[in-house]
Chains A and B, each alone.
With several copies, the nearest count.
Chain A
Amino acid sequence: MYDFEIRHPPDAGGHFNGFGGKYAAETLMGPLAELEAAFYASWEDPEFQAERLRLLQQYAGRPTPLYHARRLSEEIGGAQIVLKREDLAHTGAHKINNTIGQALLAKRMGKKRVIAETGAGQHGVASATVAAMFDMQCDVYMGREDMRRQAPNVFRMELLGARVIPVDSGTATLKDALNEALRDWVASCENTFYIIGTVAGPHPYPLMVRQYHVVIGQEARAQSLEQFGRLPDMAIACVGGGSNAMGLLHPLRDDDIRLVAVEPAGYGLDGDDHAASLAAGRPGILHGNLTYLLEDDEGQIKGTHSISAGLDYPGVGPELAAMYEAGRLELETADDNEALQAFSRLSLCEGILPALESSHALAAAMRLAAKMKPEQMLLVNLSGRGDKDLDTVMQKTKEDAT
């Protein structure tokens, strides 16, 4: 099911067709080189891989199931919708695949402390989780605004022994938390490992995080063949930074399968209240890599909006930008309301509460499935569970009632 070949690697500088790279402060160039060397060495080390797989299976609950949503597919009357159940992974989202990999690498590099940025709190929780297991100190940067919105995840992190550090600068959300984590790392890189939460940041992060997540697509591919005797016609995932998307789609890249990324259209693509970096942005440089960004005409990064905190980010992983420009990635968007409707529909039809992030993928999937034939198959990455979003949905339901 799993294989360790690094397919479609970036160039030596970490560029995917020009995107990506290492746009970092000089202080970080040394640590990044060290990290890169350690990553490649560990990737070739069978013991490291065995331990990583052991934890993915026995700790994180991999493989996650592939589930044919029969009732939903029937109601839609188009393609068969099949869900990759990352919502069942430990801590409730795909994020744990990555934090297990990075924490193991941190341990191998002898780092006693890890830091992370978080928006919705899922990556923060996944980082705090592995830090607890590996007995490492863990500080998580989180925008003060996000801390308010996602209070239960803040408490989860604290229960796991992590310190959550509020970030007040800028828009006090995810991008500012990332800035703040980078500032910490510049000063602490000797003893600290920075666990980035998505396929962004300077090389080798986008590659590394992708490699830690390709288990999703590798499993889905094998499960699809085993359970249905075929591969899907289309695979689809939501995109915040793009880690769940790359995890699912990258291993399917060389197959004859349409690959679709879904960006959050927030209140709509007309104004600025969305976070659709590929659909509405342009190439720029932020957080260590060259990629599509939402920015003004002078390169100032824009504030974003999405109902799902995990997609509320003005950039996108560089490899997605490259695949998009190469025509290997189709683009869809779903706005707040469509995501909420998809959330509700999956809950009512299949008894699964999806994360609001994943609900974006579902919204687009339902739209696309309706135009496909019942003998076709559409694979959706259900990247996380919706329990964390209950407050948001509850509030929205209340607002709509009045």
Chain B
Amino acid sequence: MSLDRLKNCFERCAAENRAALVGYLTAGDPNPAASEKLLDVLASHVDIVEIGMPFSDPMADGPTIQAASERALAAGTRMRDVFHIALSVRKAHPAAGIVLMGYANVAFAMGYEYFAEQAALAGVDGVLIVDIPPEEAGDFTRALKAHKLCGIRLVAPTSSTARRKLAAEIADGFIYYVSLNGITGAEMGEISEIRTQVDALRQQAKLPICVGFGIKTPEQAHAVAAFSDGVVIGSHFVNCITAHEDNEPAMLSELDKTCAAMRAAMRKGGVGED
């Protein structure tokens, strides 16, 4: 089921000659109720919804997403809220891909098996845990597989050829290529360098390749869309929340606009490519 849904997303996009738009928000940010609405807006624009599980110590995230985690936790967000939000996205957007993103300890504290079961019940398609590399992924991957969830794998500029091969082998759903050595929200790397890397990665991996980290403008997104199967936008969307503290309607409308602009940038070829 889940495997199929992500696959379908990419196929649909390919058919429309565009890259998939993968959009991230932290669940529970700025509070569970508002978050549910925000993710609904997000899901109405993007192909794949990436739902961040808030964590007290988000070591791979920059200030924007750190703050989102802090807001969500301060508002009392718990894992059942995360799953509830996922489920409501699933219900309203049956075709959307849904991926949970987060840190190992949250899943470990639940128990990998129970975590996977709950995710599956919530209609989630895939899971990306930043700090469970392939070397430590054994039990976790088994739990995901048992519930037909995709284990998304990251590949970074520092990943060796051997590691890229390993990621390609064990990944499901898609490969997430991190476009820079750094944290979320940093400045994006050189487009030409990213393209070279993605092209090379294609030789090793049959899965779709999404590119993320640091993409902030429709122009950047369009440029990346040209040679990737999907473009991940995170901090840029979270900023819609940050910019309108306590003003929910403003958040929602800005997110709506921002998503629409990014969605438009997904088409392959055209202005951005010239």
Contact between A and B in the complex (any CB pair below 8 Å): yes
Which listed residue (A26, A190, A286) contacts B156, Cβ 8 A?
A26
A286 to B105, Cβ gap below 8 A?
yes
Which listed residue (A169, A187, A298) contacts B79, Cβ 8 A?
A298
Residues of A within 8 A of B109 (CB): 284, 295, 297-299
The reply on B22 being an interface residue by CB < 8 A is no
Residues of B within 8 A of A179 (CB): 57-59
The reply on A31 being an interface residue by CB < 8 A is yes
Interface residues of A in 159-217 (CB under 8 A from B): 169-170, 175-176, 179, 182-183, 186-190
B105 to A284, Cβ gap below 8 A?
yes
The reply on A288 being an interface residue by CB < 8 A is yes
Interface residues of A in 22-45 (CB under 8 A from B): 22-31, 33
Which listed residue (B70, B178, B180, B181) contacts A170, Cβ 8 A?
B70
Residues of B within 8 A of A299 (CB): 55, 105-110
Q: How many residues of A contact B (CB 8 A)?
A: 39
Cα of A175 to Cα of B156 in the assembled complex, Å: 25
B136 to A170, Cβ gap below 8 A?
no
The reply on B163 being an interface residue by CB < 8 A is yes
The reply on A112 being an interface residue by CB < 8 A is no
Residues of B within 8 A of A295 (CB): 105, 109
Cα of A328 to Cα of B181 in the assembled complex, Å: 41
B181 to A186, Cβ gap below 8 A?
yes
A30 to B73, Cβ gap below 8 A?
no
Residues of A within 8 A of B131 (CB): 23-25, 285, 288
The reply on B157 being an interface residue by CB < 8 A is yes
B106 to A29, Cβ gap below 8 A?
no
Given the known interface contacts A170-B70, A288-B131, the answer about A30 and B57 at a Cβ–Cβ threshold of 8 Å is no
CB closest residue in chain B, given A28: B158
The majority secondary structure among interface residues of chain A is mixed
CB closest residue in chain B, given A15: B136
Interface residues of B in 54-88 (CB under 8 A from A): 55-63, 66, 70, 73, 78-79
A175 to B57, Cβ gap below 8 A?
yes
Cα of A25 to Cα of B105 in the assembled complex, Å: 13
The reply on B154 being an interface residue by CB < 8 A is yes
Q: Which size bracket describes the interface of B in this complex?
A: 35 or more
A30 to B133, Cβ gap below 8 A?
no
User: What 1/0 flags go to B172-196 for Cβ under 8 Å of A?
Assistant: 0000001011110010000000000
CB closest residue in chain B, given A23: B131
Cα of A26 to Cα of B66 in the assembled complex, Å: 19
Which listed residue (A23, A284, A287, A300) contacts B73, Cβ 8 A?
A300
The reply on B13 being an interface residue by CB < 8 A is no
B66 to A169, Cβ gap below 8 A?
yes
The reply on B155 being an interface residue by CB < 8 A is yes
B56 to A285, Cβ gap below 8 A?
no
Cα of A398 to Cα of B58 in the assembled complex, Å: 38
B105 to A293, Cβ gap below 8 A?
yes
B66 to A285, Cβ gap below 8 A?
no
Closest approach, in angstroms, between the C-beta of B203 and any C-beta of chain A?
19
Which listed residue (A22, A29, A31, A300) contacts B56, Cβ 8 A?
A300
Closest approach, in angstroms, between the C-beta of A20 and any C-beta of chain B?
10
Residues of B within 8 A of A297 (CB): 109
The reply on A13 being an interface residue by CB < 8 A is yes
A286 to B181, Cβ gap below 8 A?
no
Interface centre among B56, B108, B181, by most chain A C-beta atoms within 10 angstroms, is B56
Query: Top 10 nearest A-B pairs by Cβ distance?
Result: A299-B109, A30-B158, A187-B182, A27-B156, A26-B154, A285-B104, A299-B105, A300-B56, A301-B56, A26-B156
Given A25-B133, A187-B183, 20 additional A-B pairs, CB 8 A: A23-B131, A24-B131, A25-B60, A26-B153, A26-B159, A26-B178, A29-B135, A29-B159, A30-B158, A31-B158, A33-B160, A179-B59, A182-B59, A183-B62, A189-B181, A283-B108, A285-B104, A286-B105, A288-B131, A299-B55
Give the interface of A toward B (CB within 8 A).
13, 21-31, 33, 169-170, 175-176, 179, 182-183, 186-190, 283-288, 290, 293, 295, 297-301
